[in-house]
């Protein structure tokens, strides 16, 4: 009988821990635009390293996340939908680029604000974009540049 009580207690502890992990994950996910947020579109030549849930940052501060990533069959560009938190106004001449957190870090979408007095609205497109840069491609290009020609 004591064995059954110990098993029940351990099971309850496991369930409480699992509930805590789920609550933490739900709080950290923050995938939607929220009640007062809006969506922007950015098209990249190369969107390697990002996916749904990737952070969108401005000046290093998370301001949203990627909610969709599709391919435009006419231009062959990666079309991303960016959920931006409400109350934040972004000038319409702003740029977006896929940046890296470091050599081993993940990628994120970085917004560089422009200086226009006109602001982007829900559904607008960020026209100035720069895709991801592959470190391997850079090394290969560098290696072929310095290799002796025969």
The whole-number pLDDT of residue 95 equals 95
Short-list 81, 93, 98, CA closest to 128 = 93
The pTM for the full model equals 0.69
**CA geometry: angle 93, 96, 98, nearest 5 deg:** 170
Burial class (CB in 10 A: 0-12, 13-18, 19+), 24: exposed
Per-residue pLDDT 10s for the chain (150 aa) are: 567 888 888 888 888 888 877 777 666 655 444 557 899 999 999 998 899 999 999 999 999 999 999 999 999 999 999 999 988 999 999 999 999 887 777 899 999 999 999 999 999 999 999 987 766 676 777 777 665 665
The whole-number pLDDT of residue 17 equals 83
Token pair listed for 50: 């990002």
Q: How far is CA 5 from CA 8, 14, 15, in A?
A: 5, 14, 15
Token pair listed for 20: 């805590």
For the chain, the average pLDDT equals: 85
Give the distance from CA 16 to its chain's centroid: 31
pLDDT tens digits, 77-103? 999 999 999 889 999 999 999 998 877
């Amino acid at each position: 009988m004591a064995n059954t009580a110990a098993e029940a207690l351990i099971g309850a502890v496991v369930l409480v821990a699992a509930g805590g992990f789920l609550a933490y994950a739900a709080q950290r996910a923050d995938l939607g635009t929220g009640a007062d947020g809006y969506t922007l579109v950015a098209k990249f030549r190369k969107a390697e390293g990002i996916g749904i849930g990737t952070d969108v940052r401005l000046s290093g501060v998370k301001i949203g996340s990627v909610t969709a990533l599709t391919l435009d069959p006419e231009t062959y560009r990666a079309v991303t939908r960016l959920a931006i938190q409400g109350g934040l106004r972004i000038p319409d001449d702003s740029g977006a680029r896929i940046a890296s957190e470091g050599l081993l870090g993940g990628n994120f979408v970085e917004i560089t604000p422009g200086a226009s007095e006109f602001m982007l609205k829900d559904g607008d497109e960020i026209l100035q974009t720069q895709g991801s840069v592959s470190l391997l491609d850079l090394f290969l290009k560098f290696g072929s540049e310095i290799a002796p020609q025969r």
